[in-house]
């Protein structure tokens, strides 16, 4: 029987190596010739702190960087709704939030449009694929869309005080008061209540409604983290599926939690970023003064509140930012390690040259810019995501595509690359795919020509009082040069990324940019089906 020590040793060694159709919509025939396999890796809350995007100079993601050298990295890829549930229900169905009216935290499978549209998983399965998944993929899990599914989302390890989940004792107040998820960061070696305890205090796994001990003795004798467990599952299934004699292609999806909070990962990843040498995010004093977020949201909103509490928890703001950044960078490095194991399994299999790999995230994360520490903003840090696609025989190795794309484009791209047939709607109450195939950018990353728009569209939910009305939400479009933001009260922000990559100067009131602003507004309204 394998011990935890055996598991950790094998994991470290591997890391070093690098619903039926309604009437009128017939189920497509299965092509018996093996189509390309797809391995899709989705991270949570991963912003541009990865080597190919250079969002932070100290980020260490060698496995993501290696994948980028063998595929195409999209330097301007964006989330369509930068918070977990609506982002995932959008890009995994290929339908914009404003099309489905699934704008925030509602269960996607109860939405009248999405429940009558095929998820990526269902469409692949209807085309003869074996569809396997594990980890956090849809925020609201529905087992029936998978051929097989292993582990549900687990945000642990959490700290347990014997009665409930709490923030780590090492986190200073008042930031710790945020709670066990967003208010907690520490290496696993920092045992919450000391070693050798015989009670149930300490680390636990993160499944809700249960209290399951996460055993930790030292770095080589501990339980696997949920991400490590999902990586091991993916490695095993890739090996098995690649060897099968049936010739049946597979879509394998793995959802990694980190760097979603709580930022608890093994000590070796924290050690990669000594606190004294961590560089705090580049932030301009009073940067929020020409922004309009606080005109439409009050100070209790998470991003504003988290920043304020972090600032109050340390003698200097820089100290707090460095502490949080260290934990975030460590968590990014930890998930990169898991990604590396999955990619290595593909590369060592007989199906390497017939397997497409996609790595991305549901959205980014603001690291204190504009006095905001969270996701769910319309600024670059929340909206921008890593997106790397390796498609053997199609994608240009080492290519960098600069044209704006968004997560909504992943589904149609995979349909195109894999030659899938049939309607993605289950019936006429469903919706067609909103995105466009990124194949032109895979073949020629410098191409500026495709069937999609010139801008990537992002929205954030304005609140309960706005119901499901897209016109009442807050919006942004990002072109190669500009970001334009339109809040539901009419306030605007305009940033010139050629001259202002940190979005420090809001140009919306500058008459010299009146035509640019008007053109971007017209483009935004056109993309959302509205008129001036």
387-390 and 384-385 beta bridge pairing: unpaired
Mean pLDDT of the region 5-28: 42
Partnered with residue 400 across adjacent β-strands are: 73
Predicted local distance difference test score (pLDDT) of residue 8: 44
Predicted local distance difference test score (pLDDT) of residue 246: 83
Query: At residue 57, what are phi and psi to the nearest 5 degrees?
Result: -65, -15
If residue 447 lies in a helix (H) or strand (E), which one and from where to where?
none
Distance CA 311, CA 317 (A): 5
Structure tokens at 239: 């090996």
pLDDT at position 25 over 80? no
pLDDT at position 353 over 80? yes
pLDDT at position 32 over 60? no
| SS3 per-residue string spanning 358-392 | EEEECCCCEECHHHCEECCCCCHHHHEECEEEECC
Mean pLDDT of the region 138-164: 96
Specify the DSSP class assigned to residue 117. B
Predicted local distance difference test score (pLDDT) of residue 532: 58
DSSP string for 120-161: HHHHHHHTT-EEEEEESSSSS--GGG-SEE--------EEE-
Predicted local distance difference test score (pLDDT) of residue 173: 98
Calculated CA dihedral for residues 506, 508, 511, 517, nearest 10 degrees:
130
384-385 and 202-204 beta bridge pairing: unpaired
Predicted local distance difference test score (pLDDT) of residue 493: 98
Q: Which of 137, 132, 184 is nearest to 161 (CA)?
A: 184
Specify the DSSP class assigned to residue 57. T
More reliable by pLDDT, 11 or 55: 55
pLDDT at position 94 over 80? yes
Distance CA 335, CA 144 (A): 27
Query: At residue 384, what are phi and psi to the nearest 5 degrees?
Result: -75, 140
Tens-place pLDDT, residues 253-262:
999 999 999 9
Distance CA 482, CA 502 (A): 12
Cβ partners under 8 Å of residue 471, min gap 6: 488, 530
- Contact between residue 293 and residue 371 where contact means Cβ atoms under 8 Å apart: no
Structure tokens at 358: 């996609």
Q: pLDDT above 90 covers what percent of the chain?
A: 88
Tens-place pLDDT, residues 263-300:
999 999 999 999 999 999 999 999 999 999 999 999 99
Confidence band for 29, pLDDT divided at 50, 70 and 90: very low
Predicted local distance difference test score (pLDDT) of residue 148: 98
Specify the DSSP class assigned to residue 421. -
The order of strands in the sheet holding 474-478 is 456-460, 474-478, 482-486, 492-496
Predicted local distance difference test score (pLDDT) of residue 12: 46
Least trusted range by pLDDT, from 22-36, 105-119, 413-427: 22-36
Domains and CATH numbers, the chain: 34-151+218-409+418-442 (3.40.720.10)
Angle at 51 between CA 328 and CA 91, to 5 degrees: 75
Q: Which of 302, 315, 383, 465 is nearest to 47 (CA)?
A: 383
Confidence band for 33, pLDDT divided at 50, 70 and 90: low
Distance CA 369, CA 56 (A): 13
Tens-place pLDDT, residues 446-490:
988 999 999 999 999 999 889 789 999 999 999 999 999 999 999
Helix (H, G, I), strand (E, B) or coil at 78: strand
Q: Return the axis-axis angle of helices 317-347 and 226-243, rounded to nearest 10°.
A: 20
Predicted local distance difference test score (pLDDT) of residue 508: 98
């Amino acid at each position: 029987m394998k011990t935890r020590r055996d598991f950790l040793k094998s994991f470290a060694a591997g890391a070093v190596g690098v619903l039926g159709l309604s009437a009128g919509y017939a189920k497509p025939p299965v092509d018996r010739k093996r189509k390309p396999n797809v391995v899709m890796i989705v991270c949570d809350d991963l912003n541009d702190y990865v080597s190919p995007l250079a969002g932070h100079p100290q980020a260490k993601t060698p496995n993501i960087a290696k994948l980028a050298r063998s595929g195409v990295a999209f330097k301007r890829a964006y989330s369509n709704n930068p918070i977990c549930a609506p982002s995932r229900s959008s890009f995994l169905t290929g339908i914009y939030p404003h099309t489905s009216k699934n704008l925030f935290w509602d269960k996607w499978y109860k939405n009248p449009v999405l429940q009558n549209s095929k998820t990526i998983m269902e469409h692949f399965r209807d085309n003869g694929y074996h569809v396997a998944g594990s980890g956090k993929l849809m925020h609201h899990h529905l087992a029936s869309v998978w051929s097989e599914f292993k582990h549900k989302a687990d945000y642990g390890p959490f700290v347990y005080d014997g009665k409930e989940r709490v923030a780590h004792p090492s986190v200073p107040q008042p930031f710790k008061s945020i709670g066990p998820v967003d208010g907690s960061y520490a290496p696993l070696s920092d045992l919450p209540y000391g070693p050798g305890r015989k009670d149930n205090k300490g680390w636990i796994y993160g499944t809700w409604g249960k209290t399951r001990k996460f055993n930790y003795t030292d770095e080589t004798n501990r339980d696997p983290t949920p991400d490590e467990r999902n990586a091991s599952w993916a490695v095993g299934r890739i090996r098995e599926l690649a060897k099968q004699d049936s010739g049946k292609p597979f879509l394998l999806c793995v959802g990694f939690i980190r760097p979603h909070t709580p930022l608890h990962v093994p000590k070796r990843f924290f050690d990669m970023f000594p606190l004294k040498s961590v560089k705090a995010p580049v932030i301009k004093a009073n940067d929020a003064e020409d922004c309009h977020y606080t005109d439409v949201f009050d100070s209790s909103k998470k991003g504003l509140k988290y920043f304020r509490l972090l600032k109050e928890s340390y003698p200097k703001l820089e100290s707090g930012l460095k502490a949080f950044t260290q934990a975030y960078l460590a968590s990014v490095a930890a998930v990169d390690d898991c990604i590396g194991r999955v990619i290595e399994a593909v590369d060592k299999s007989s199906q390497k040259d017939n397997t497409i790999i996609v790595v991305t995230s549901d959205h980014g994360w603001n690291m204190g810019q504009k006095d905001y520490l969270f996701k769910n903003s319309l600024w670059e840090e929340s909206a921008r995501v890593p997106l790397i696609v390796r498609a053997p025989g199609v994608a240009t190795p080492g290519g960098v595509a600069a044209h704006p794309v968004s997560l909504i484009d992943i589904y149609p791209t995979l349909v195109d690359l894999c030659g899938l047939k049939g309607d993605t709607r289950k019936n006429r109450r469903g919706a067609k795919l909103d995105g466009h195939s990124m194949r032109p950018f895979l073949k020629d990353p410098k191409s500026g020509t495709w069937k999609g728009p010139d801008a990537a569209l992002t929205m954030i939910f304005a609140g309960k009082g706005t119901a499901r009305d897209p016109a009442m939400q807050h919006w942004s479009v990002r072109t190669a040069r500009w970001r334009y933001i339109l809040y539901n009260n009419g306030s605007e922000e305009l940033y010139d990324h050629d001259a202002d990559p940190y979005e420090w100067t809001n140009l919306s009131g500058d008459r010299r940019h009146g035509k640019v602003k008007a053109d971007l507004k017209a483009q935004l309204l056109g993309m959302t089906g509205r008129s001036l």
